[in-house]
Amino acid sequence: MTHFHRTTLTILLLAGACYFTQPPMARADGKKLNGMAAIVNGEVITLAEVEGSVYNQVRIWVLEQDQSTLTQAKVEAKMEEFRKQGLQDLIDRKLILAKAKELGMSIRESHLDQMQASFINERFKGNDKKFYEELQKAGLTIKTWRDNQREQIMIQALRNQNVPKDIIVTPNDISDIYTRRKREFETDPKIKLRMISIAKVPTDGSGNPESQKKLITELRQQIIKGADFATMATTHSNDSFAAAGGDVGTIDRNVLNPTLTSIAFSLEPRKVSEIIDDGPFYRLMFVDARIGGNAPPPEKIRDELEKLVIQEQKKGAYERWVETLRHSANIRLFQ
């Protein structure tokens, strides 16, 4: 992995910031960034606002990280994570903050002062000057940082109000989550993986994201019906593994990005994955075989399993609450 020099990271983030201020603005799929992404209760959300929100999230995330452990791969993975859910996250954020306003929630400036002082003490050892320097390098203003903290406090407060406080974990809950997620506890698992990658925008101009999505959907259907994955990869894939029938090799959890790793290691052998939206590509994965990776019995990891049950139930309750906000809102999507 390549570790960032601070100046390299700054250039990356500031380049992204400049990109959103240079008209005419367009994405890889040709859509103008000053076009509309959605209208939420009469408020327009532009594509530029979505992309700008993603970059702001990445900047703030970077500022909060230990720079000595930050790598280009980590930043790119986090950026892609934010981008995939960018519009929905922005819509949900607006709905939750509108609810906070409706309830009359407010955050005192003195509380933000305390948070800022605590952050500077923890992250910059009390060095105010260093904090402001890093804000500037990341393309942030103190107002942007404080506004983000204020919004996060209100969102977290409403989240806490709408998830169960005391969750009783039953033996059935433990059995169910162990069955579904025991592979997360396997020691040193490896898989023999194949992959098909279909570029959303081919370099030869022979397709667009819509036609490429249709292509990979058809490929997946053929594989489900018995077509050979390796043959499909050799014929159609757009990555460096195509000539070898999509053979990525025998890998552990440290080879692919977090999203692909999670999906690949959850696949049953000889089963094709769902279509994966992975940045500039649509992908399919296929596990030829699993090697090693035995999980301990559930009684040995009961505490961890209980935590997962609680996390899932809280997340489910929160999602159901947010869904009620979506249903009561007037939302129109343009993507």
What pLDDT digit, counting tens, does each position of 232-290 carry?
999 999 999 999 999 999 999 888 888 899 899 989 899 999 999 888 899 999 999 98
What pLDDT score does 335 carry?
Answer: 60
Task: Please classify residue 28 by burial: count the beta carbons closer than 10 Å to its beta carbon, then call 0-12 exposed, 13-18 middle and 19+ buried.
Answer: exposed
Q: Which residues pair with 317 in a beta bridge?
A: none
User: What is the greatest pairwise CA distance in the chain?
Assistant: 64
Domains of the chain, CATH where assigned:
6-161 (1.10.4030.10), 187-291 (3.10.50.40)
Residue 18 is predicted with a pLDDT of 38
Flag whether pLDDT at 17 surpasses 80: no
Nearest to 219 by CA among 207, 211, 227, 210: 227
pLDDT band at 55, cuts 50/70/90?
confident
**pLDDT beyond 50 at 327:** yes
Whole-number pLDDT of residue 120: 93
The whole-number pLDDT of residue 34 equals 61
Position 60 confidence tier, pLDDT thresholds 50, 70, 90 = confident
In the predicted model, is pLDDT for residue 28 greater than 70? no
The mean predicted confidence, pLDDT, of the chain is 85
pLDDT of 334 > 90? The answer is no
Handedness of CA 65, 71, 75, 78 (dihedral sign): negative
pLDDT band at 26 (very low <50, low <70, confident <90, very high): very low
Burial class (CB in 10 A: 0-12, 13-18, 19+), 321: middle
Instruction: State residue 111's pLDDT score.
Output: 94
pTM over 0.85: no
Q: Do the bridges between strand 43-46 and strand 36-40 make them parallel or antiparallel, or are there none, so unpaired?
A: antiparallel
Burial of 66 from C-beta contacts in 10 A (0-12 / 13-18 / 19+): exposed
With cut-offs at 50, 70 and 90, classify the pLDDT of residue 32.
low
pLDDT for residue 82:
81
